[in-house]
Structure 1
């Protein structure tokens, strides 16, 4: 039977989903307000002093409307707030509330534990090699430069 060589983007997507599902399950078990995977992604790309919705959308690779919906879900959950942008009277910054900062710290610890579990399963050397490959500069995608 021939082996199926899955494309690397599919493997990376599966790996991301493994971390997301572990993080979401752990946060839910701890009583944290339920969040979706897109909301998790938004939370991860948010700067501590605050970030505009447009910049969040760019970082997430989604439309402004999609980012806006994620923001409002997290505001309703008490994890984010909107504040005036001191650099622009027309814009507002999105930032974590005190509860959002607590949940963010908890999420960072959960991700560290998930990485340790992965290292126990596939080996520390494999995890370190994966991290090194993903942190290496890849340059612009072909056809975009």
Structure 2
């Protein structure tokens, strides 16, 4: 019985559980570092906004949600001090959403935390196994960049 292949449904659940574990650890540490209000959806939204800013429509498209849903997330991020609305230098009729220094800091800290969490996996599994896992996933995952549309995908 031990040689039996695991059922196919376990693979996506294990991948999701690994993702969830990393994200939960990330947010616990972000809270300790002064970002207690950042939620996973906010992290995806800040990634969608990017270094150069974006309009609410662009953010919605990148997240896979409506412009209105994106606007609500932007409103919350603005209230928390992570983003700001400014005039778009390319089009005076629209607003550009940009990350504030607080938003940039939260993303920079998240990157540091992810590096440390990966190092923990290396400590537990060994560098070769983690590298092999990453390489294997790159082989089977479409090469379309890293999606930030998780909020819309789950919705």
Return the TM-score normalized by structure 2. Answer: 0.76
> Residue 121 of structure 2: SS of its match in structure 1?
helix
**Correspondence for 1:71:** 74
Structure 2 gaps of 5+ residues are 145-155
**Correspondence for 2:142:** 138
**Correspondence for 1:38:** 41
> Residue 97 of structure 2: SS of its match in structure 1?
strand
Return the TM-score normalized by structure 1. Answer: 0.80
CA contact (8 A) 2:43 2:107 kept: no
**Correspondence for 2:132:** 129
CA contact (8 A) 2:45 2:63 kept: yes
**Correspondence for 2:55:** 52
> Residue 44 of structure 1: SS of its match in structure 2?
helix
Q: 1:89 to 1:36 in 2, by over 3 A?
A: same
CA contact (8 A) 1:82 1:95 kept: yes
Deviation at 1:8, TM superposition (A): 4.2
Q: 1:92 to 1:134 in 2, by over 3 A?
A: farther
Structure 1 gaps of 5+ residues are 141-145
CA RMSD of aligned residues (A): 2.4
The list of structure 1 runs, each at least 4 consecutive aligned residues, that deviate by more than 6 angstroms after superposition, is none
> Residue 27 of structure 1: SS of its match in structure 2?
helix
Deviation at 1:79, TM superposition (A): 1.0
Matched residue count = 140
